[in-house]
């Protein structure tokens, strides 16, 4: 049986390669940092979600080592059996306080967090209204629920209001949006979304994975940026980006929502607990965030410098001021070749194409970090210019 299946799979893989959509995995031989070692040598890393440069921060690494001695390596259990330690409860309390929510529940990833919310809270008599560019984990989580599914065009408030009008017969309505859209760097208009939610009696959920830690005056994400921390009902996020870069996710929300998730959320009930070493290191990250104003300022300066220099050089950068700076290429194969040329010039980036982004909108998503120096950013711009000339030749 498998022989025929294998031939079909090989054909599919060949088609992916021919379309320029194949995604190779490069092996890094060093810790995650502004510079990393790959097969071709040391390169500048402009494709990680290491926004604040904390993935290899010495205090975070030390906290992780100490946690291994104190708490052990893993829990070998789920939370409600014997998988809860003091360090898990402390991290949940700290995240709640940091994000301005009543309670928090930890997951093994934000993908799992988004996968566990919708089917727990919503049934056939309810409606979920989702931004068209929301993360795949939100889309999959919605599919798991029996709620009526509605979609509005990206950041289109008129379309959102129309969906709210059409779902007024629903028992519960939940508006869900990314805080920052990961392929574009666009920020959701949360204040206006909350206004519509108030007007039409809906709840608001935000996946703030690409914002918590560095967006907002205190790094508390897009609800802080827009002044709506007390108006967002559910915040999901990750520990795997700005908050240390390891793994793990969370839902921070109203107390009753979190309590129900502890009782019925399947990814929480049937997955091993977050490793205690990650929980402990994440607590150290939250300590560092209290005095991370300089890191956020450096990240903002690097972002502004890159966006300005690349625009002056004639590249098309999607507008905004987020550390995600998409360099638009268009053709998938060309984006992949550009990424290869950049790697040859000592800059590690990735070309993104369909199905991650719409067909014909391939891009190189550059991600700035506080760990980059001004010289790093200028070198990256120079490499883009040189690679563009090589691509033409």
What is the C-alpha separation between 87 and 317, in angstroms, rounded?
A: 42
- pLDDT attached to residue 231: 98
- Tell me the backbone φ, ψ of residue 388, rounded to 5 degrees: -60, -40
For 116, which DSSP code? H
Q: How many helices (H) and strands (E) does the chain have?
A: 15, 13
Q: Which residues contact 225 (CB under 8 A, 6 or more apart)?
A: 187, 190, 211, 215, 216, 217
The mean pLDDT value for 359-371 works out to 95
How does residue 24 score in pLDDT terms, banded at 50, 70 and 90? confident
Q: Residue 300, class by beta-carbon neighbours within 10 Å (0-12 exposed, 13-18 middle, 19+ buried)?
A: middle
- pLDDT attached to residue 73: 97
Give the tens place of pLDDT for each residue, 283-297. Answer: 999 999 988 889 999
- Tell me the backbone φ, ψ of residue 392, rounded to 5 degrees: -70, -35
Angle at 322 between CA 316 and CA 327, to 5 degrees: 20
- Tell me the backbone φ, ψ of residue 62, rounded to 5 degrees: -65, -40
Q: Residue 152, class by beta-carbon neighbours within 10 Å (0-12 exposed, 13-18 middle, 19+ buried)?
A: buried
What is the Rg, in whole angstroms, of the alpha carbon atoms belonging to the chain?
Answer: 22
What is the C-alpha separation between 204 and 231, in angstroms, rounded?
A: 8
The pair of three-digit structure tokens given for residue 290, joined into one six-digit string:
């209290």
Helix (H, G, I), strand (E, B) or coil at 53: coil
Alpha helices (H) in 107-156, listed in sequence order: 110-121, 136-144
The mean pLDDT value for 90-114 works out to 98
Phi-psi region of 330 (alpha: psi -120 to 50; beta: other; left: phi over 0): left
Helix (H, G, I), strand (E, B) or coil at 263: helix
Q: Which DSSP helix (H) or strand (E) runs through 365?
A: strand 362-367
* 355 upstream amide cis, omega within 30 of 0: yes
Computed over every residue of the chain, the mean pLDDT equals 96
- pLDDT attached to residue 17: 85
pLDDT over 90 at 18, yes or no: no
Give the tens place of pLDDT for each residue, 230-281. Answer: 999 999 999 999 999 999 999 999 999 999 999 999 999 999 999 999 999 9
What is the C-alpha separation between 322 and 243, in angstroms, rounded?
A: 17
Strand order, beta sheet including 173-178 = 103-107, 249-253, 234-238, 203-207, 173-178, 127-131, 148-152
Task: Indicate if the alpha-carbon torsion angle 352, 356, 357, 360 is positive or negative.
Answer: positive
- pLDDT attached to residue 353: 85
- pLDDT attached to residue 118: 98
Give the rounded distance of the alpha carbon of 294 from its chain centre: 22
Catalytic residues: 182, 210, 241
The pair of three-digit structure tokens given for residue 86, joined into one six-digit string:
């003091």
Helix (H, G, I), strand (E, B) or coil at 154: coil
Give the rounded distance of the alpha carbon of 103 from its chain centre: 21
What is the C-alpha separation between 20 and 22, in angstroms, rounded?
A: 6
How does residue 16 score in pLDDT terms, banded at 50, 70 and 90? confident
- Tell me the backbone φ, ψ of residue 150, rounded to 5 degrees: -130, 150
The mean pLDDT value for 108-137 works out to 97
């Amino acid at each position: 049986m498998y022989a025929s299946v294998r031939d079909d799979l090989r054909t599919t893989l060949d088609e992916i390669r021919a379309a320029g959509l194949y995604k190779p995995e490069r092996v890094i031989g060093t810790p995650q940092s502004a510079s990393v070692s790959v097969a071709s040598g040391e390169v500048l890393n402009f494709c990680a979600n290491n926004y604040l440069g904390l993935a290899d921060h010495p205090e975070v690494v030390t906290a992780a080592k100490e946690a291994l001695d104190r708490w052990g390596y893993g829990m070998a259990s789920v939370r409600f059996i014997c998988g809860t330690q003091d360090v898990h409860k402390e991290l949940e309390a700290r995240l709640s306080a940091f994000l301005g929510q009543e309670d928090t529940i930890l997951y093994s990833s934000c993908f799992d967090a988004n996968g566990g919310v919708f089917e727990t809270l919503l049934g056939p008599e309810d409606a979920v209204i989702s931004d068209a560019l929301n993360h795949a984990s939100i889309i999959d989580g919605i599919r798991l629920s029996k709620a009526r599914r509605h979609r509005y065009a990206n950041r289109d408030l008129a379309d959102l209001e129309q969906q709210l009008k059409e779902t007024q017969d629903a028992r519960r309505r939940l508006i869900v949006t990314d805080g920052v859209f990961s392929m574009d760097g666009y920020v959701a208009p949360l204040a206006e979304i909350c206004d519509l939610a108030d007007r039409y009696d809906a709840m608001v959920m935000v996946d703030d994975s690409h914002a918590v830690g560095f967006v907002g005056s205190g790094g508390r994400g897009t609800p802080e940026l827009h002044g709506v921390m007390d108006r967002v009902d559910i915040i999901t996020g990750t520990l795997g980006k700005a908050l240390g870069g390891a793994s793990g996710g969370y839902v921070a929300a109203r107390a009753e929502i979190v309590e129900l998730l502890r009782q019925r959320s399947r990814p929480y009930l049937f997955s091993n607990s977050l490793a205690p070493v990650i929980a402990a290191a994440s607590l150290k990250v939250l300590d560092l965030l209290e005095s991370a104003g300089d890191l956020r300022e450096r990240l903002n300066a690097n972002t502004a410098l890159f966006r300005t220099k690349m625009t002056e050089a004639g590249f098309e950068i999607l507008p905004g001021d987020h550390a995600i700076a998409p360099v638009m290429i268009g053709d998938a194969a060309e984006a992949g070749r550009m990424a290869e040329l950049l790697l040859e010039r000592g800059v590690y980036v990735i070309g993104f194409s369909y199905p991650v982004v719409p067909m014909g909108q391939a891009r190189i998503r550059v991600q700035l970090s506080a760990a980059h120096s001004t010289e790093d950013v200028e070198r990256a711009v120079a490499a883009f210019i040189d690679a563009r000339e090589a691509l033409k030749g």
